[in-house]
Structure 1
């Protein structure tokens, strides 16, 4: 993965008020730490950081004055409603150093008809070089039939990467696609558990017949 250079400014103001002022200026408060060094508090351009973090394992080159820090995202706090970045913790890394990161699983191809492909784990933990973090691990599901499974040990890992999870971790599970009757039964069961009672469907024809009978009876009475 290519390095993404982001200019930064030292941060000297702290607290909620200072953080709000930073965000109003389309900046993001962040901290760099790791390798036994003192934390480096900075502000980063919000738009540039948002674009860089479209990949959760982006390799960042943070330029603070004459210093440059190579880092990867460790924890990113976002606004729960609007989604903008509120704060970022960045882990300083060294070239050649190995780190453990969660890499996305990307499915390729199509399983057999009338199957349901369940992605049991959307990511897999890998030990990789900090400067060679893959964007995703591709998993082919082409032609898989009901009952097929893909375990972590079945994954084709990029060169230099190693699993950081148990080999029998279930990644993909292929089951039979549910029928309309299955879905209806599950819905009824869920409604029953929630205490929801369905209204019985009314017979429109029956209503009409009943109405006519009452009208006929009234007519006979009048005559």
Structure 2
């Protein structure tokens, strides 16, 4: 049995924790979970004592420490090649990694304006015209990715079976839903499939049960 420990932050807010957690959980990879709260005004010193970056998520495997969401997923994929974290075809794996890196480096307007929040009532934000333009540009690009990949794979997920690529976009699904950012039927159908995945529902239920509240400008 592989001894993996995944350190995460608040499930209601921590989008970067959500990504490797749902990837490993959906793939059936066993791991121990340790949650370190981040609702302290000056940050939680427990995180800095564990993580080289001073942030979570962090995966520990014996003496090995892996931080950053995508790096954790890649490490797990190497440990468990049979788990199917990435698509089987080489071309599909390349595209899956490309769109995953696009999440890491891009869509800043969407991330900054619309933090992940499972407890947030579903309603649109009163964007200024300038803010709406940049946020909706991010939304349009993401919907193009989803539409093209779902058409190519036939679904139900981006590359057919649930993969790391879906995990990397999981917090986006929450954002689109919580802030009512799309009315596109294809996007809504994909979001429904994501939100009814057993791994998603397990995280959501835990997020809704958390007692901690962090103001949106700090999340």
- The higher-RCO structure (CA 8 Å, 6+ apart) is 2
Q: Which has the higher helix share?
A: 2
Q: Which has the higher strand share?
A: 1
The verdict on a shared fold, with TM-score over 0.5 as the criterion, is no
Q: Max radius of gyration: which structure?
A: 1
Please report the TM-score for the alignment, with normalisation by the length of structure 2: 0.21
Please report the TM-score for the alignment, with normalisation by the length of structure 1: 0.21
